[in-house]
Amino acid sequence: MKNLSLLFLLLLTIVPASAAKIENGEQLVAAMHKKYDGKWYKTLTFVQKNTSYKPDGTIENSIWYEAMSSPGKLRVDFDPLTGGEGIMFADGQQHTFKEGKLANSRPFLHPLMVLGFDVYTQPVERTVGQLKELKFDLSQFHEDTWNGQAVYVIGAKMGDLKTNQFWVDKKNLLFVRMLQPAGKNRDRISETQFNKYEKAKGGGWVSTEVVFLLDGKKSWVEEYSDTQANVPLAGDLFDTAKWMTTDRKYYVVKK
């Protein structure tokens, strides 16, 4: 009997430490960061196959080559690389390149980078501030299921699928879904899904399929291959002035 009492007391001390209760978005962000702090990759390169679903029913495919440095930097080179077309996200800006030259720049905070990658590598306070800037109500919280798995939902009440919100897998604390109002009158629903997670070498996870839907219909699908985590990247890879001259060998795949 004495041994059972000691075991019960031991369980009381262990369980709260490993299963802290989450009741709002800020606590969830803190838990996501804590789970992978120092264990998540800082750089990632991959080849991205895109499938675009047109309103007329036709399908169009394309290939992009991508390199990410977390937090906050993503470079996308469109195939063929000799064309010099692509996009760069860096330091809260989106830069578009055409024919090897910078075409335009504009402020843009990429929500998928924040939720899918940066949350694990940057200070909690910075992520919380960015999510507030992106208009997620971190006080709105509930639990639900997604694809048969328990999830946390931040930004909306149970049953509300129209408000700005993101979903996080409860078991592994991985971002899996985002819903946002879209369209000129904000009367349509844009949905993004991070699917088919695979463990990355060196720590962390990679969603190898990203699906975009508009009002429940697929509009764009991304499939990742040749993923490489924690590879050294050229120091000027994210320098807009060196878009065509920087060393891109880490993510250029020979055909």
pLDDT tens-digit profile of 130-143? 999 999 999 999 99
> Does residue 232 form part of some domain?
yes
Angle at 195 between CA 194 and CA 199, to 5 degrees: 100
pTM: 0.90
> Does residue 92 form part of some domain?
yes
Q: Is the pLDDT of residue 148 over 60?
A: yes
Which domain does 222 fall in, by range? 21-242
How many distinct structural domains can be found in the chain? 1
Q: Is the pLDDT of residue 10 over 70?
A: no
pLDDT tens-digit profile of 34-89? 999 999 999 999 999 999 999 999 999 999 999 999 999 999 999 999 999 999 99
Instruction: Work out the average pLDDT over 150-179.
Output: 98
CA distances to 47, 49, 99, 131, 241 from 65, rounded to whole Å, are 5, 9, 16, 27, 19
> Does residue 252 form part of some domain?
no
How far apart (Å, rounded) are the C-alpha atoms in residues 234 and 236? 6
How far apart (Å, rounded) are the C-alpha atoms in residues 160 and 215? 14
Residues of the chain with pLDDT > 90: what percent? 87
Residue 9: the pLDDT is 44
Q: Which residues pair with 190 in a beta bridge?
A: 180, 214
Residue 17: the pLDDT is 37
Q: Is the pLDDT of residue 125 over 90?
A: yes
Residue 56: the pLDDT is 92
Residue 134: give its domain's CATH number.
2.50.20.10
> Does residue 11 form part of some domain?
no
> Does residue 162 form part of some domain?
yes
DSSP 8-61: HHHHHHHHHHHS----SHHHHHHHHHHHHTTTS-SEEEEEEEEEEE-TTS-EEE
Q: Is the pLDDT of residue 145 over 70?
A: yes
Residue 11: the pLDDT is 44
**3-class SS of residue 64:** strand
Q: Which residue has the higher pLDDT, 24 or 5?
A: 24
Residue 3: the pLDDT is 55
Q: Which residue has the higher pLDDT, 252 or 159?
A: 159
Query: Which of 4-18, 61-75, 225-239 shows the lowest mean pLDDT across its residues?
Result: 4-18
Q: Is the pLDDT of residue 250 over 50?
A: yes
Query: Which of 190-199, 200-209, 213-222, 246-255 shows the lowest mean pLDDT across its residues?
Result: 246-255
pLDDT tens-digit profile of 13-41? 444 433 579 999 999 999 999 999 999 99
Say if residues 239 and 249 touch (Cβ distance below 8 Å): no
Please state the φ and ψ torsions of residue 205, each to the nearest 5 degrees: -135, 160
Angle at 112 between CA 186 and CA 132, to 5 degrees: 65
> Does residue 200 form part of some domain?
yes
Instruction: Work out the average pLDDT over 167-181.
Output: 98
